[in-house]
Structure 1
Amino acid sequence: MEATERNKEFLCISTILSCLLLSITYVASLYIWNSPHTREHPSTIKRRFFSVFIMTLISPIFLYYGMNNNVFEKASIWELLGLRWSGLFQATVLPLFLTMVLFLGPLCMQALNGIWRLYAEPMYWLGSARTLIWWRNQVVAPLSEEWTFRACMLPLLLQCFSPTTAIFICPLFFGVAHFHHVVERTKMGMKLKHAIILSSFQFAYTTLFGAYAAFLFAKTGHFMAPFAAHSFCNHMGFPDLSEVIAYKDPVKRAGLLCLFVIGLVAWCFLLTPLTNPTWFNNNLFWHKDFL
């Protein structure tokens, strides 16, 4: 019995260290290039695209060698990574719909400002798809981050922790990884104090989103679920209440604020029923005895 406990303790320590090393490796891959340009410069973006492509190949190695062999008796490496056909459609549509409910206020504000008419223009999407920044924000960053920090990291943590605990530990690595923006902001001329404050705020909301993304991955067992939610959130950005408060019409202002609240409340009520594992044929992650 003591030997079993020691083995479990050793496995958990090695799991945390593996996740930490994976997080450091991901961030280090972005800075391996010696470039005088900012993160928005095309050459920087292209180099980082190459870095995260290499990371998508490296990250599963941490998962494969970090998992207990007992797990591979229940599931293949592809299933652990959330790459399977069964339940894929539901795992794409339902989490995206759920995330849109959370953004009910911002979406209605966009409709009021006429932005939705822009979405109906094919040239808007063609123009966006021609820019490297759009590909970074909507495809490459969500794909590489969810692949590394959810698909390759969360199954490791589920070896040692309950699903609820694991989904709150996993985003800490994701949130801390975003502190590398302090370097970029100071390089662009921002004062260190302001860069730290801004990055701390970013740490807070990326950690919250990371917990939500980890929850979606664990409940659906699909990589596509957090990826779709992440891409949508990157498109919407952080909700800007100051824009709502700036409305001069008190009726519009009050109505939009109500929609922000309604979206949050509706999201809370729909979160559990719309992520029921049976909807996604997920019989792997959302169980106490994962091992």
Structure 2
Amino acid sequence: MAAEEDLSPNFLTDEIEHSNGVFVPPDGVCWVSVLSCLMLACSYVGSLYVWRSPLPRDHPTVIKRRFTSVLIVSGLSPLFVWAWRAFTGVRTGSSLLALMGIRFEGLIPAILLPLLLTMVLFLGPLMQLAMDCPWTFIDGIRVAIDPLYWSLCFNDMRWLRNQVVAPLTEELVFRACMLPMLVPCAGLSTAIFTCPLFFGVAHFHHIIELLRFRQGTLSGIFLSAVFQFSYTAVFGAYTAFIFIRTGHLLGPVLCHSFCNYMGFPAISTALEHPHRCTVLGCYVLGVVLFFLFLFPFTDPSYYGLPTPVCTLSPAPSSLCIS
């Protein structure tokens, strides 16, 4: 792809070259990318603590205040990507919004397939939930289409945080904004596992809340933080993979919201379930099917080849081909 003419000031390079259609990153892009991601992560987490309050994080007043600050930071986050592009001189044929996964091409598959893939992974917990639910399937449908149910949800600050605001803002900041800055430096595969480190470390701030309100022993709080860092980093790698393969922000957001709703699988409860063999069988089957469908369900040909973020890769990658 031919490089666009760069008319803006460029402190690192005068021209972005392309060789055989492969993007060639400018010199010095790595330190700018990492610094930009670090500043963005600190801004996001720091925005949660601009309000002084003796109340816990789940109090509606605290949640509302944090909504305000985190939505401001998230709304300004594309400016980090814009400034990064202006400083490094990186230019592609895709717009800034397209690089961040905000586009219409392949939108319907991007809404359905990643979410379906994630539900396959949670086949065991979903089967367990269905067995333990006192409602019939028809009852569930009636609740799902009841406007009163959704009104209650959107008036519940914790639900709104966990299902809407956190998935949207975290995926926008930690995936849509960071990946386009990391891919030219690290490449696609490395970026998938580097980006979640910012996401995982950002969740360490929960230690502050636990220590502040003495919710457990010091060792217990530390182990909880390490565990949370581990599974948020793994989840972050998964949504980064989806973002790169589909080139859409909406898919990771919906998967994030679904996982927040499901929570970490209650394996200990499954081991004690009256229908333990069936439930555990579904756990295993879900994991097997997930890995079988991982690449087919995220085939870039469904979402428009190449996906915008793939155009920033310094080397060809199997992640960007069907």
Query: Shorter-chain TM-score: what band?
Result: over 0.9
Equivalent residue in structure 2 for 1:69, among 89, 108, 111: 89
Partner in structure 1 of residue 30 of structure 2: 12
Overall identity of the aligned pairs, in %: 44
Partner in structure 1 of residue 309 of structure 2: 285
Matches within 5 A, 1:191-206: 191-206=217-232
Q: 1: distance between equivalents of 2:282 and 2:39? A: 42
Aligned residue identity for 1:111: A
Partner in structure 2 of residue 91 of structure 1: 110
Equivalent residue in structure 2 for 1:238, among 250, 259, 264: 264
Residue deviations 1:174-200, cap 9 Å, x none? 000000000001112123221111011
1:158 and 2:174 matched: no
> SS where residue 58 of structure 2 aligns?
coil
1:55 and 2:76 matched: no
Cα displacement (A) at 1:116: 6.0
Structure 1, unmatched stretches of 5+, are: none
TM-score (norm 1): 0.92
Residue deviations 1:204-232, cap 9 Å, x none? 00000000010111111101010010000
Q: 1: distance between equivalents of 2:171 and 2:286? A: 24
Residue deviations 1:109-130, cap 9 Å, x none? 1110126646432354443232
Say if 2:110 and 2:251, in contact at 8 Å, map to a contact too: yes
- Quickly say closer, same or farther: Cα 1:46–1:130, change in 2 above 3 A: same
Aligned residue identity for 1:15: S
Q: 1: distance between equivalents of 2:272 and 2:49? A: 39
Partner in structure 2 of residue 272 of structure 1: 295
Equivalent residue in structure 2 for 1:180, among 195, 205, 218: 205
Say if 2:101 and 2:243, in contact at 8 Å, map to a contact too: yes
Partner in structure 2 of residue 253 of structure 1: 276
Q: 1: distance between equivalents of 2:155 and 2:75? A: 26
Partner in structure 1 of residue 239 of structure 2: 213
Aligned residue identity for 1:112: M
Structure number with higher helix proportion: 1
Supply the RMSD in Å over aligned alpha carbons: 1.9
Partner in structure 2 of residue 133 of structure 1: 158
- Quickly say closer, same or farther: Cα 1:119–1:183, change in 2 above 3 A: farther
Q: 2: distance between equivalents of 1:290 and 1:54? A: 35
- Quickly say closer, same or farther: Cα 1:183–1:82, change in 2 above 3 A: same
Partner in structure 1 of residue 255 of structure 2: 229
Cα displacement (A) at 1:289: 3.8
TM-score (norm 2): 0.83
Say if 1:119 and 1:125, in contact at 8 Å, map to a contact too: no
Q: 1: distance between equivalents of 2:196 and 2:134? A: 32
> SS where residue 153 of structure 1 aligns?
helix
Q: Aligned pair count?
A: 283
- Quickly say closer, same or farther: Cα 1:245–1:53, change in 2 above 3 A: same
- Quickly say closer, same or farther: Cα 1:70–1:20, change in 2 above 3 A: closer
> SS where residue 184 of structure 2 aligns?
coil
Residue deviations 1:141-166, cap 9 Å, x none? 00000000001111000111221110
